[in-house]
């Protein structure tokens, strides 16, 4: 794997090309989180790898205090301004998720939008789960959102082409993917010449569950969607719900 590829990947241009989520999509994600983690007003949630704060901002509008972490200083500055402009109770911190633990233990935690598995070293990736565990109160819950490797294997296409919405404009995009030595590699090519490369460990749902259980999380459920469908080869996502014991 390329060392620290994500530091170059998540730049200002990527904000325009891949991070825009509709209000409806964010609302559905947050509805799901509130439901399965039993979140209430005044709870504190740790948003590991929060990006520009979409999830934290949406949860904070419901009275949930959020601590958001991301390695990108630029993304964190954007998240801070969004929270300040809306007078929301969020703390956003630029730090390394491989080492960061919250100062105050939290009532819930999420790692959303597949921000996991970026190191070739499994033990390094497990550190992120351990940091979540150490940041949670006993009995509270953690959601890990990843892709479903079994779906990808069954539906794999080396190259796909589709349109993506960027600032309300549809842009042509071509994506190439390759599975090599347990690493899932992807290249994105946009019609205006922008290119991005990313990679992650190709963990199965069972692999992810074992990693969480190794850190003493009890996995309560594994979903294939935010509609709480049970995971199967029909769903691209693998969402694990763990409880700190």
CA-to-CA separations, 64 to 141, 185, 212, 240, 241, in angstroms, rounded: 15, 36, 25, 21, 19
Position of tokens 């006993």?
Answer: 138
Q: Is the pLDDT of residue 156 over 70?
A: yes
Binning pLDDT at 50, 70 and 90, where does residue 200 land?
very high
Protein fold of 6-147+203-244: Rossmann fold (3.40.50)
CB 133 within 8 A of CB 100: no
CB 178 within 8 A of CB 160: no
163 Cβ contact list (under 8 Å, min separation 6): 170, 171, 172, 173
Phi, psi of 224, deg, nearest 5:
-100, -10
Rounded CA separation 175/179 (Å): 14
Q: What is the pTM of this model?
A: 0.94
* Cα 191-10-144 angle, rounded to 5 deg: 115
> Bridge-partner residues for 47, per DSSP?
68, 110
Lowest model confidence (mean pLDDT) among 31-40, 170-179, 217-226: 170-179
Element (H, E) at 83: helix 73-85
Give the model confidence (pLDDT) of 48-98 as tens digits. Answer: 999 999 999 999 999 999 999 999 999 999 999 999 999 999 999 999 999
| Closest to 240 (Cα-Cα) out of 48, 37, 101, 102 | 37
Lowest model confidence (mean pLDDT) among 12-26, 177-191, 205-219, 221-235: 12-26
What are the residue boundaries of the structural domains of the chain, listed by start? 6-147+203-244, 152-198
Q: Look up residue 58 and give its two tokens.
A: 């949406």
């Amino acid at each position: 794997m390329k060392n620290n590829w994500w530091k170059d990947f998540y730049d200002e241009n990527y904000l325009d090309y891949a991070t825009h989520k509709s209000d409806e999509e964010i609302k559905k994600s947050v509805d799901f989180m509130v439901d399965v983690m039993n979140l209430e007003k005044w709870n504190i949630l740790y948003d590991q790898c929060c990006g520009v704060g979409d999830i934290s901002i949406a949860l904070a509008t419901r009275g949930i205090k959020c601590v958001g972490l991301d390695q990108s200083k630029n993304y964190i500055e954007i998240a801070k301004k969004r929270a300040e402009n809306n007078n929301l109770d969020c703390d956003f911190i630029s730090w390394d998720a491989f080492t960061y633990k919250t100062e105050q233990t939290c009532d819930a935690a999420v790692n959303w939008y597949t921000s996991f598995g970026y190191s070739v070293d499994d033990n390094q990736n497990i550190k992120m789960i351990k940091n979540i565990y150490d940041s949670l109160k006993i009995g509270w819950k953690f959601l890990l959102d990843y892709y479903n490797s079994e779906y990808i294997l069954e539906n794999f296409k080396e190259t796909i082409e589709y349109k993506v919405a960027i600032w309300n404009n549809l842009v042509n995009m071509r994506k190439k993917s390759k599975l090599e030595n347990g690493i899932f590699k992807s290249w994105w090519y946009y019609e205006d010449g922008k290119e991005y490369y990313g990679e992650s460990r190709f963990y199965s749902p069972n692999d992810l569950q074992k990693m969480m259980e190794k850190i003493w999380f009890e996995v309560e459920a594994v979903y294939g969607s935010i509609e709480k469908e049970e995971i199967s080869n029909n769903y691209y996502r693998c969402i694990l719900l763990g409880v700190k014991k």
